Amino acid sequence: MSADLQAAPRVVLRPLASPLPLGFLALAVATTCFAAVQLGWVPQAQGSTVALGVLVLTVPLQLLAAVMGFLARDPVAATGRGILAGTWAAACLATLASPPGASSPGLGVLLLASATCLLVPAAAARTKAVPALVIVGSSARFAVTGLAELDGGRGWLDAAGWVGIGLAGLSLYAALALELEGSEGRTVLPLGRRGRSRAALDGRLADQVDDVATEPGVRQQL
């Protein structure tokens, strides 16, 4: 072995399970529960109970998924999960601090800002169609809910609830597809993988680690 090769730095990779199914299922719980209140399926007085449940269940699971996403070297998934964790936490705390059924223009502005921020990871996730659609759906869910908070009208609130139900269905599909993919090591339900995302599943290990030396956490500068 040459002296140059012996002196070369070594990067050790630790296999991690995908945190995406956990994040998508936590999202499905949150958006369904809030939609049930918005659509009047449960009384407005139960909004505080829903907010507390989402704060205890969804927020920490989304935060965990974000951390695991960074450790798995997937900044798109991690960024999306992190924004979702913070936004759901803000929505829960605002609900707990407000009278039942009250609208909050301040929360509406925050939701619109979060919806805009989610378009960044959505654009970067274009090689995975279904996960990208979930992020876009989350952005739409926050945007419509933000408009409902600003307007205070029943129409926007109903629209937000139905967008939330649609997002829940899409999240459940994405979670199931990724869970089956992880457990069986192959695509069972289509996720719309292409390009680097497809190569990440079907390509050689050498193809995946060729540029690891230039990734954040290995290179000197972020």
Q: Mean pLDDT per 10-residue run, the chain (222 residues)?
A: 54 74 95 96 93 96 93 87 96 93 91 96 86 94 95 88 96 93 78 64 59 62 56
Structure tokens at 111: 């939701």
Residue 106 has, within 13 A of its CA and on its CB side, a CA count of: 8
Domain count, the chain: 1
- Distance, in Å, from the CA atom of 101 to the CA atom of 115, rounded to the nearest integer, reads 22
Question: C-alpha angle 57/61/64, rounded to 5°?
Answer: 150
41 within domain boundaries: yes
Which region, left, alpha or beta, applies to residue 149 given φ > 0 means left and ψ of -120 to 50 means alpha? alpha
222 within domain boundaries: no
12 within domain boundaries: no
Classify residue 125 by its DSSP letter. Answer: T
Domain that holds residue 70: 20-203
94 within domain boundaries: yes
CA-based nearest residue to 15, from 134, 187, 185: 185
- Distance, in Å, from the CA atom of 58 to the CA atom of 66, rounded to the nearest integer, reads 12
- Distance, in Å, from the CA atom of 144 to the CA atom of 153, rounded to the nearest integer, reads 12
**By three-state DSSP, how is residue 128 classified?**
strand
Q: Which residues pair with 128 in a beta bridge?
A: 193
The amino acid at residue 138 is: S
8 within domain boundaries: no
Using only the alpha carbons of the chain, give its radius of gyration: 20
138 within domain boundaries: yes
- Distance, in Å, from the CA atom of 17 to the CA atom of 182, rounded to the nearest integer, reads 8
pLDDT value of position 215: 64
Structure tokens at 124: 């970067």
pLDDT value of position 112: 97
Instruction: State CA 98 to chain mean position distance.
Output: 26
pLDDT value of position 189: 78
pLDDT value of position 9: 64
183 within domain boundaries: yes
1 within domain boundaries: no
Structure tokens at 128: 């995975």
Q: Are 150 and 122 in contact (CB under 8 A)?
A: no
CATH code (residue 125): 1.25.40.600
